[in-house]
Chain A
């Protein structure tokens, strides 16, 4: 957690220095038309991967999300991702788990390749970045059966509306390719690391909206269709 805080603080720090430098340069030679715009368009994206992932999970889980990403100085790509996800799964011992809830992630990407915007040519990005993900949701775990074999007695537990807040860190890499004017396509691959762990023996959710199946780390894939304004 501490490292992540440091990471984000340093991003903010370098960003502020960059802003000051850019302003100074503008003051010095005001005759020059500023080559680097502060904000270079806003891209709105929709994740189309659920079409496939929902099928692959056999309907156990679903996750829909969209993103807003902007470009600062053609180099930094702050991003806000918002989504809704859920799960409904029954274990082999008939324990049923259901959840649904919203999630969001904030972070920034960096362009690995130096972007060149040549008029009449399409723009492509290779992005690497980090995100901090949040989800506040409730879940149900029902029909949890405990059987005392020797004495032949059993009890069944139902846990309803258990509230949970989860925070995780992501490292993301992806590409965005301009297919037609202002229409982008691309993918993002991410490695997620859970920061809020459950105490041993305490009830914990099987699925976390925005994170996926509960584990110390998880992978995620998005396939984005975007439009740049």
Chain B
């Protein structure tokens, strides 16, 4: 009265299931954070040229020969004499609403102030934790080298995008 054949088959299957379960466990428990966590604001440099005959204004991207960038309240440089720069990426303050930078273009210095909202604790995952994303409200600067600043994209997150255009 004992279904021994099925019992053996069943126990054999149990071992297959255990090994499958091991596979699932190793697939699902990921210890390392594999998501992008860096949130940076990106600047691109442009000049405006007016066509002599048609009077049409056109934007042209250009490279800065050498650039120095640091925050107003910090001594360490984020960019130090970087040559031939097309775009720069800068972090914004995660827990304050205003970030000021001192930017030296070749030998001319300007101060740029960014006013922003912070979306604290934007959750990624248990492994990656939280990040802070920003929304640009306003961007102002002194006008020694910079002619004007245009906000292209207000949302700053982990996506690689140009947020501000600096016109010379």
Contact = CB atoms under 8 A, between A and B. Distances in A.
A122 B6 contact: yes
Contacts of A203: 121, 123
B24 A180 contact: no
B21 to A, nearest CB: 5
Contact of A92 (B6, B24, B31, B73): B31
Interface residues of A, number: 46
A219 B24 contact: yes
A204 B18 CA distance: 29
B118 to A, nearest CB: 10
A190 to B, nearest CB: 11
Contacts of B3: 122, 177-180
Given A180-B2, A201-B122, A221-B21, A146 B29 contact: no
B127 A92 contact: yes
A155 interface: yes
A60 B29 CA distance: 10
Nearest to B11: A185
B25 A185 contact: no
Contacts of A149: 91
A52 B18 contact: yes
A95 B126 contact: yes
Band of interface residues on B: 35 or more
Contacts of A180: 1-3
Interface stretch (B41-49, B56-64, B128-136, B145-153): B128-136
Most buried by A among B20, B21, B76, B126: B126
A56 B23 CA distance: 10
A218 B78 contact: no
A122 B28 CA distance: 39
A110 interface: no
A186 B14 CA distance: 9
B22 to A, nearest CB: 6
Interface in A205-219: 206, 212-213, 215, 218-219
B121 A144 contact: yes
